[in-house]
């Protein structure tokens, strides 16, 4: 089984600002899906210029989101990058600075819009996806929980998610593919 990743709590607004940038998000997704790459190969794959991908890779590296890939060292001028999988966590909003709250809000809005777009692309392709066309799994429910119970629920969910991350990397086989998984829980402000 793949190694378990220790959670990393991001408490720095600058790190969140670095992470939330749309091109940096695309770079990270590409590195996770395709493996190590250079600024040049990323630029080609993402339709960007090498200067932009090189700059954004350095910004991601400054905050520990990407790192040099030692397996591709070899005297050439090109620098190879990899994005190790990380279990990123964020402190409760009550512990965030105003700047951090702003950065998180911007990232949450961008991510929500990106998720809506991804679902629309799936729906547009669904009829041509064979058995993967049946893979839209949605569960909606309502629980009555205390804040401590909700945190326990969240930690249980993350433990399950991380178990499947580790298993999927090794056991998905030829039939495996990337699956977007989203979890959202928030208080119902309309219920007492």
CATH 1.10.10.10 is the classification of domain 7-133: yes
pLDDT band with cut points at 50, 70 and 90 for residue 95: very high
Does the pLDDT of residue 72 top 90, yes or no?
no
Token pair for residue 6? Answer: 């220790």
Q: What is the pLDDT of residues 21-70, one digit of tens each?
A: 999 999 999 999 999 999 999 999 999 999 999 999 999 999 999 999 98
Distance in angstroms (rounded) separating the CA atoms of residues 88 and 128: 34
Query: Tens digits of per-residue pLDDT, 139-157?
Result: 889 999 999 999 999 999 9
Residue bearing the bigger pLDDT, 169 or 8: 8
Whether the per-residue pLDDT at 190 is higher than 60: the answer is yes
Give the tokens for residue 169. 């990397």
Work out the end-to-end distance of the chain between its first and last CA atoms, rounded to an integer number of angstroms: 45
pTM of the model: 0.81
């Amino acid at each position: 089984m793949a190694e378990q990743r220790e959670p990393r709590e991001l408490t720095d607004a600058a790190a969140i600002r670095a992470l939330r940038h749309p091109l940096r998000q695309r770079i990270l997704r590409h590195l996770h899906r395709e493996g190590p790459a250079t600024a040049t190969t990323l630029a080609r794959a993402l339709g960007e210029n090498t200067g932009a991908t090189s700059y954004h890779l350095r910004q991601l590296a400054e905050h520990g989101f990407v790192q040099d890939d030692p397996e591709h060292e070899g005297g050439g001028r090109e620098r190879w990058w990899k994005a190790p999988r990380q279990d990123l966590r964020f402190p409760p909003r009550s512990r965030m600075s105003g700047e951090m709250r702003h950065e998180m809000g911007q990232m949450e809005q961008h991510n929500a819009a990106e998720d809506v777009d991804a679902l629309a692309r799936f729906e547009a392709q669904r009829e041509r996806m064979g058995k993967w066309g049946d893979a839209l799994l949605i569960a909606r429910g309502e629980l009555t929980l205390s804040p401590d119970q909700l945190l326990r629920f969240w930690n249980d969910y993350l433990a399950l998610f991380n178990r499947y991350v580790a298993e999927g990397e090794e056991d998905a086989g030829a039939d495996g593919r990337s699956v977007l998984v989203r979890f959202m829980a928030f208080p119902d402000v309309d219920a007492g």
